[in-house]
Amino acid sequence: MQDIEENKKRTTKLEGCDFSTRGRWVYDESYPLYTRRSCPFIYEGFDCQGSGRLDKNFTKWRWQPQDCEIPRFDATKMLELMRGKRLLYVGDSINRNQFESMVCMLMGDIRDPNRPRISHAKGTYSFYFVDYKFTVEFSPSVFLVEKGTKRVGQKQVQTSLRIDTIDQGSSRWRGADILVFDTEHWWTDFKTNSGKNFYQEGGKIHPFLDVHTALRKGLMTWAAWVDKSINPRKTQVFFRTSSPTHFSGGEWKSSRSCIGATEPLPKPSGMANKKDVVLEEVVKQMKTRVTLLNITSLSEYRIDAHPSAIKDCSHWCLPGLPDAWNELLYLHFLSDS
């Protein structure tokens, strides 16, 4: 009787429920939602079983919020909701992780006679679901702002980051019906020359700028572009919060603490991510409505979900954790329908 009463209290409505931070991971034999056999488009770096990982438990965990329900992802319903639309993920390789997850989730079970038909040109980040006239794409842009480069021999080498100029690839972002952004993965001292002679505004390169100040300036450039270029009556804008890594101390060069992990952590650190705080402050100042897809806390548990066989403690296995991120995205679409 108590279980029935508890279920009655749960809701799938977004208002008044914390879907992202209050909850736990539940082992569920009905997962995963797809396999590497049903989805042959998984990048080898995300294909953990193909890379030699022998255990499969990491594919079986489902996020269960404490006071509400996340409906199981229904590929057919999602495709109907997206009929005639264009869903575009913009950002770094973690957003590629989520993009590939969505493509695989939509393809469903290989045994399904109603499996959707897709059109995909090899080497592109674009999948067209023919019967629904629906496109899912990924646009690489690790910083969202423009990189300064120079040619060294046959290669273009990055020399600076123009934090006051939007990425030239932004011309592709216009016209999408749904935009899902991320960027924080590369805003680290390791990736930005420790802020020394790297960040540029106008014709000036700062001798030094700390990463959080630079991130704020870069996000304000992105926010100004969104407010100027996006029609909120046509386009929904999401921004995914930071994806946690499981290196000791959180540093890229530190030891890889995810190696050999086969179960989620008992609890996350509970510490606020400074970059997410910057993101929230910038979004609050925008004219355009931007929905934060808060995945940081629930993902911090999942030390077991990385491609640890190739010693990668920052990206995620597919099938795996990014599927839960897309289930949260799916919940937003259901609530809006």
Instruction: List residues with catalytic annotation.
Output: 93, 312, 315
- Strand 134-140 to strand 145-152: parallel, antiparallel, or no bridges (unpaired)? unpaired
Angle at 213 between CA 322 and CA 165, to 5 degrees: 80
> Is there a contact between 148 and 158 (Cβ–Cβ < 8 Å)?
yes
Cis omega (within 30 of 0) for bond into 244:
no
The Cα–Cα gap between 295 and 286 comes to 21
323 Cβ contact list (under 8 Å, min separation 6): 32, 33, 73, 101, 105
- Residue 200: phi and psi, rounded to 5, are -120, 135
- Which amino acid does the sequence have at 113? P
**Distance of alpha carbon 210 from the chain centroid:** 25
- Strand 86-91 to strand 178-181: parallel, antiparallel, or no bridges (unpaired)? parallel
- CA neighbours within 13 Å on the CB side: how many for 268? 21
Which of 298, 299, 319 has its CA nearest to residue 245?
299
- Residue 87: phi and psi, rounded to 5, are -105, 120
The Cα–Cα gap between 121 and 308 comes to 30
Residues in the chain: 337
- Strand 86-91 to strand 61-65: parallel, antiparallel, or no bridges (unpaired)? unpaired
Which of 104, 90, 63 has its CA nearest to residue 299?
63
